[in-house]
Structure 1
Amino acid sequence: MDPDDSPGYLLWRATLRWQRQITATLAPFSLTHVQFVLLASLWWLDREGVLPNQLTLAQHADTDVKMTSQVLRRLEDKGLLVRETDAADTRAKRLRITGRGRELAEAAITAVEAADTAFFSAAPDRDALLATLRPLAAPRD
């Protein structure tokens, strides 16, 4: 089989190129890709009126819970969010995005969306690409 006939190989190469583009896009914001994903997810949940705990955010972003906790600690150190002990469950940490975090998230989201538009413009049919990716990205039990 030719590598150019392997969906996994092509997805791997496309993913690596896309990740490099996103890394470069996020550099001016001093955010790693995973920091961006978690901050953007928190921003989105906040917009929806949800005050998530760390587990809820990890599930929303589909990230490892322990890694999420470590990354959130770093985002808290940067003043982008606050982790507060949940009054109903003292083992859990509720997350609140700060004003600074909200501003940074909105600017970074705009930049990432522009980078995505540029990157995926090479795909001949965006709707078909989305239709292909949605089931592959869907949560699985």
Structure 2
Amino acid sequence: MTEKLVPPFTKETALKKVQLAEDNWNSCDPERVSLAYSENSAWRNRDQFFEGREAIRSFLADKWKRELDYKLKKELWAYTDNRISVRFEYEWHDANGKWYRTHGNEQWEFDEDGLMRRRDASLNDYEIDEKDRRIAV
């Protein structure tokens, strides 16, 4: 049986929650990723604001059509009872083969069932040479 990771978080459960999120996002499967969020989850991603699982699935599907060979690494930054903060970086290339690294921070808030009800993400991209990639594929 899989351990249910619900608030209040401990360091151990927060680390597991972050690793699970990393694994899910690296699947590049919008359906799989969306199941970690509540039905009415509210998101801010860069300058986009939206709500709900269907909007999340749509956003992720569009994202992974543009961000090819996506590979992500997340790191626990802080946690409290029902909140987790992470820093992350990921690498990807566009349709022209130009590689990028994206750095960012996310603030997560969870409901009593352990589903993320709020995600607030700030991130920046910059171009890299393929030879300078740091995240294993």
The TM-score normalised by the length of structure 1 is 0.27
Higher RCO structure, 1 or 2 (CA under 8 Å, sep 6+)? 2
The TM-score normalised by the length of structure 2 is 0.27
